[in-house]
């Protein structure tokens, strides 16, 4: 917010300083890209600790996906992948023996290369969190990482996964290692035996984080995939978010069913938002959904809806109890509620152009953005991670946000994910991702999806709304803040949190826009 505040209140003086007569907003002095929210006051390394087959990579991938979804730039660095690039052909567990000096040299070099890439990610790619996925089972290795982080000014948070349950370990080996590049085309029994021996190699020097010796470290210990937790010295907001997330996830097999409501009356008219009921075809879909769910024979299924009529009417046909979540309500289109896209383009051309340019961060006047919606849905994601089998009856924008989380889709793709009416998506979390099965229930419906295109715009002025032009100096501020006069410098700096003024930097980016 402060960046935008400075930019906004500097426009008047920039115009005088550079002598630019063409436009009040000097194009040479505007930011080229929208700034990324800073959730960390310094870069943070999440360092995994634990023996093989303890779910470290599973946790790393989920944590990376979650942090990116909520808007924290995060990247995972898997040291095993560095080792595979250095040693193209894996032979057997002897590579991991502590007395194998050549292998130890290679493994240390791989860890150093990964740390170097972490540094580059923070300095050159403006990353905020790096997940360092390796065993890190010795105190010496963890000390090296700590020294590296201290020298660079990074914070460190350790995540140790401890598991002694033989059934859980055996299941982890089956789920993960049979798909490992190390065991391609290997006999299953041979792969199992080799991997068990690899674990024994690590056990020889494994030292868990010590509650007394390491009391100054920040860490969480996860015992037996979540049966118990131990948390120590959480340093900041982002670490508390990580702890909260890790204490909510589980590995119990389950399925999540996502469905939009049946076709609504406003869908038929091509109008967005509103709170209309189902159309006749929408009611048919509700009945078809009930038949489909019964056919799935799901035990202990929970059903969630929004507070809006169309999702409630869809769920009522199921004939089972359902929970209403206000957080699942459709994105608030503000002043554009119940308008068609054609009406928005004709009556609010500036807003239409702004939304085209950055659909994820664009906020409807008096409404929400997709970015706002993601943060509204975070409690839903947390509860979905805690639950087993759930059917979520929701809306297009909401379904896109949920789907982007489970499929690890970036923010720029999220608003364009296909979520057609009268289709159920069955999501089944698996070892390192999520399996998706679509079921079209054979009830016709209107198509509400709008494709993204990229028209070529030759002049930047065409991408800047008219209300930011030189001849309307402070109109945009007058509209949203109401403290300024046309063609007069601001008397007192003022900016409302979350106001559309925060969209100014992205409104004048030099890249071509995407049309939805």
Annotated binding-site residue? 487 = no
CA dist., res. 2 & res. 7, Å (int): 9
Annotated binding-site residue? 449 = no
Ranges of H-type helices in 358-409 = 370-386, 396-407
CB neighbour list of residue 180: distance below 8 Å, 6 or more residues apart:
none
In b/e form, how buried is each residue of 382-418, taking b as 16+ CB within 10 angstroms?
Answer: bbbbebbbbbbbbbbbbbbbbbbbbbebebeebbbbe
Q: Which helix (H) or strand (E) holds 132?
A: strand 129-133
Annotated binding-site residue? 343 = no
Cα 193 to Cα 85, 92, 100, 198, 493, distances in angstroms = 24, 10, 20, 9, 69
Dihedral Cα 3, 4, 6, 10, nearest 10 deg: 140
Which two structure tokens, joined as six digits, stand for 431? 């070892």
User: What are the φ and ψ backbone dihedral angles of 109, each rounded to 5 degrees?
Assistant: -65, -35
Please give the DSSP secondary-structure letter assigned to residue 55: S
For the chain, the residue count is 516
Residues with a known catalytic role: 261, 330
For residues 513 and 357, the answer to whether their CB atoms sit within 8 Å is yes
CB neighbour list of residue 184: distance below 8 Å, 6 or more residues apart:
none
CB neighbour list of residue 343: distance below 8 Å, 6 or more residues apart:
none
Annotated binding-site residue? 215 = no
Annotated binding-site residue? 261 = yes
CB neighbour list of residue 491: distance below 8 Å, 6 or more residues apart:
483, 484
3-class SS at 220? strand
Given CA atoms 334, 335, 339, 341 in this order, what sign does their dihedral have? Answer: negative
Which two structure tokens, joined as six digits, stand for 186? 């290997």
Annotated binding-site residue? 267 = yes
Residue 278 CB-half CA count within 13 A: 23
Annotated binding-site residue? 269 = no
For residues 71 and 411, the answer to whether their CB atoms sit within 8 Å is yes
Ranges of H-type helices in 70-100 = 79-86
CA dist., res. 407 & res. 435, Å (int): 9
Residue 155's DSSP bridge partners are 44
For residue 67, which of 328, 256, 241, 248 has the smallest C-alpha distance?
241
CA dist., res. 266 & res. 271, Å (int): 5
Annotated binding-site residue? 266 = yes
CA dist., res. 24 & res. 481, Å (int): 19
CA dist., res. 47 & res. 49, Å (int): 7
Annotated binding-site residue? 310 = yes
Binding positions are 260-267, 310
Binding positions for substrate are 260-267, 310
């Amino acid at each position: 917010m402060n960046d935008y505040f400075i930019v906004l209140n500097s426009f008047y003086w920039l115009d005088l300083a550079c002598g630019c007569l063409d436009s009040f907003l000097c194009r040479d002095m505007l930011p080229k890209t929208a700034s990324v929210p800073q959730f960390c006051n310094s870069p943070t390394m999440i360092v995994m600790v634990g023996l093989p087959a303890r779910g470290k990579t599973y946790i790393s991938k989920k944590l990376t996906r979650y942090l990116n979804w909520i808007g924290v730039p995060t990247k995972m660095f898997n040291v095993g992948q560095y080792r595979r690039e250095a040693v193209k052909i894996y032979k057997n567990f002897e590579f991991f023996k502590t007395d194998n000096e050549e292998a130890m040299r290679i493994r240390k070099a791989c860890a150093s290369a990964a740390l170097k890439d972490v540094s580059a990610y923070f300095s050159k790619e403006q990353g905020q969190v790096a997940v360092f996925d390796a065993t890190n089972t010795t105190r010496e290795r963890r000390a090296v990482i700590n020294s590296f982080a201290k020298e660079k000014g990074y914070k460190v948070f350790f995540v140790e996964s401890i598991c002694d349950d033989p059934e859980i370990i055996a299941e982890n080996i089956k789920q993960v290692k049979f798909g490992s590049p190390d065991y391609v085309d290997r006999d299953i029994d041979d792969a199992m035996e080799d991997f068990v021996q690899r674990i024994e190699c690590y056990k020889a020097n494994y030292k868990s984080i010590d509650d007394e010796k390491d009391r100054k470290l920040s860490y969480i210990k996860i015992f037996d995939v979540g049966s118990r937790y131990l948390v120590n010295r959480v340093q900041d907001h982002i670490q508390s978010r990580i702890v909260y997330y890790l204490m909510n996830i589980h590995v119990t097999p389950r399925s999540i069913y996502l469905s939009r409501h049946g076709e609504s009356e406003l869908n038929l008219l091509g109008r967005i938002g509103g709170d209309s009921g189902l159309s006749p075809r929408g009611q048919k879909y509700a009945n078809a959904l009930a038949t489909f769910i019964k056919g799935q024979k799901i035990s202990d299924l929970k059903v969630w809806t929004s507070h809006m009529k169309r999702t409630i009417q869809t769920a009522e046909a199921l004939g089972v109890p359902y929970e209403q979540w206000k957080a699942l309500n459709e994105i608030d289109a503000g002043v554009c509620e119940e308008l068609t896209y054609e009406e928005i383009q004709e009556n609010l051309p500036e807003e239409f152009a702004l939304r085209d340019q950055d659909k994820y961060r664009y906020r409807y006047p008096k409404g929400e953005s997709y970015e706002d919606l993601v943060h509204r849905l975070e409690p839903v994601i947390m509860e979905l991670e805690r639950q087993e089998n759930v059917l979520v009856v929701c809306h297009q924008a909401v379904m896109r946000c949920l789907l982007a989380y489970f499929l690890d889709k970036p923010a720029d793709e999220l608003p364009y994910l296909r979520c057609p009416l009268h289709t159920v998506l069955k999501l089944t979390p698996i070892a390192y991702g999520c399996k998706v099965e679509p079921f079209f229930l054979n009830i016709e419906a209107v198509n509400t999806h709008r494709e993204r295109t990229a028209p070529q715009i030759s002049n930047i002025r065409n991408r800047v709304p008219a209300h930011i032009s030189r001849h309307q100096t402070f109109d945009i501020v007058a509209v949203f803040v109401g403290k300024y006069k046309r063609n007069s410098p601001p008397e007192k700096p003022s900016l409302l949190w979350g106001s559309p003024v925060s969209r100014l930097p992205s409104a004048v980016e030099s890249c071509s826009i995407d049309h939805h």
